[in-house]
Structure 1
Amino acid sequence: MPTPPPQGIHKRSLLRNDVYDSIRDAIVNGTFAPGERLRDPELEAWLGVSRTPIREALLRLERAGLIIAQPGRATIVAPLDAASTVNAQQVVAAMHELAARLAVPLLSEQDLAAMTAANVRFAAAIKKNDADAASAADDQFHAVLVGACGNDMVPTMLDQAMPLLRRVERQRFSSHDAQHSVSAHADIIKLATAGDADGAALATRANWLALGIQAVAEETTA
């Protein structure tokens, strides 16, 4: 797919993180397809920023496994890889398990209400096969636990591993196959409300490992 036309998305004063987020999201949602070449001038025109924040963003994306830099040749979107995706899933599951175990004793009624509301939005998005809305609601659900856990390393690790996983995960969120996650979220809320940190942690881990990512990844890369 060609680079999107200029939209004035970013002002020159925009933080580097926002440039990174925009390119990352375009890779995750398929706007930039696996194997597609990323050209600095086209990215500059699209995002409305100079080359420096774009090169910094591309370095971060390379570390995250989303692009491949070929010195003196080209920068391309990394092909989907089943093994790397499963590795990312395992890291994400472990980090969310830890977040839940640490967060549950600290959750407020407002936190639990936010998780419940996010799951309602998630269920509605799955029913409509709306992968983008489902991903956003799922992020909002788990962000409550990550935000409350008090361990700054958890979001750092998730920021590294989640983009690689999200490329395949969003395919699950565009079908009714992800309906089981609605029930899994409800179970996590129930356990958290009861103050069962270990139970909520294990349920959270199981939720991430039950997405069938390996099957989807292998089918996609076949």
Structure 2
Amino acid sequence: MPVPRTSAPPPRTLLRERAFTMLRTAIVDGTLEPGERLVDADLCAWLGVSRTPVREALAHLEKTGLVQIRPGSRTVVTPLDVRAAAEAQAVAASMHELAARTAVPLLTASHCLEMETANRAFATALTTADVEAAIAADDAFHRVFVGLAANRLLAAILDDVTPLLRRMERVRFASLVGRESVAQHARIVEFARRGDADGAAAEVRANWLTLTP
């Protein structure tokens, strides 16, 4: 069969998800700064999509607290908000605590090794002030419990609240304060290796609650 000369345009849902993902990443990594105005025409040109998927993506981002839409006025990147971050932090801590409690009984030696490897990468990234690598390694560490828990609702909630915490993590992981997490991670692995689900869950919760003073 010959290759078709033309192909159908991507479904609108895929365009919306692509726009959402790119916008969320740009907000979280600081490319789009807190308080920055978002103009539809500029976003459409950058993302290469029409206004509809852009507006749908912005509506989703508003629900997750990353943008503020003022009808008839303007859309801006949500300024850093201590209260909103604290709320997201509390939810994330509870979800990761639940993931740990569920996952520890399922943990194998290879899972513990995976977490230890991620923690070593995390420590190295902090030492070299590589914030991006630190966040990636921290994600890899906690992803072990979340993956083993296999709770789709838990994962969906974390997908919504975690981006709100990323800007906090960038500040924390760029400072010496973030190095406390290395020792906390080590304690989590030790509890998990002993099969102490309650101990691991409590330590995971404490780890997530150290993002803010």
Fold equivalence (TM over 0.5)? yes
Partner of 1:181: 181
Q: Does 1:37 align with 2:46?
A: no
Matched, 1:23 2:23: yes
Q: Which moved more, 1:83-92 or 1:44-53?
A: 44-53
Structure with bigger gyration radius: 2
| 1:84, distance to aligned residue in structure 2 (A) | 1.1
Are residues 96 and 179 of structure 1, via their aligned partners in 2, closer, same or farther at CA, if it must alter by over 3 Å?
same
Equivalent residue, structure 1, for 2:96: 96
Amino acid of the structure 2 residue aligned with 1:50: S
- Cα distance in 2, alignment partners of residues 206 and 140 from structure 1: 18
Q: Return the alpha-carbon distance in structure 2 between the equivalents of residues 90 and 77 of structure 1.
A: 22
| Rounded Cα–Cα distance in structure 1 between residues aligned with 2:69 and 2:77 | 9
Q: Residue in 2 aligned with 1:145?
A: 145
Q: Name whichever of 192-201 and 150-159 sits farther off.
A: 150-159
Q: Which residue of 1 aligns with 2:162?
A: 162
Tell me the equivalent position of 1:198: 198
Deviation at 1:189, TM superposition (A): 0.8
Q: 1:30 aligns to what SS in structure 2?
A: coil
TM-score by length of 1: 0.86
Contact 1:97 1:202 in 2 (8 A): yes
Show the 5 A alignment for 1:60-99.
60-99=60-99
Task: List gaps (5 residues or longer) in structure 1.
Answer: 1-11, 216-222
% of aligned pairs identical? 52
CA contact (8 A) 2:15 2:49 kept: no
Letter in 2 for 1:93: A
- In the superposition, the TM-score normalised over structure 2's length comes to 0.89
Deviations 1:135-176 (A, max 9, x none): 111111101110111221111111121111222221101122
Amino acid at match of 2:208: W
Q: Evaluate the alpha carbon distance shift between residue 32 and residue 56 of structure 1 in structure 2; reply closer, same or farther with a 3 A threshold.
A: same
CA contact (8 A) 1:129 1:176 kept: no
Asked if the contact 1:192/1:200 (under 8 Å) is kept, the reply is yes
The answer to whether the 8 Å contact 1:96/1:204 transfers is yes
Residues of 2 paired with 1:191 and 1:146: CA distance? 16
The secondary structure found in structure 1 opposite 2:30 is coil
Greater alpha carbon shift after TM alignment, 17-26 vs 118-127: 17-26
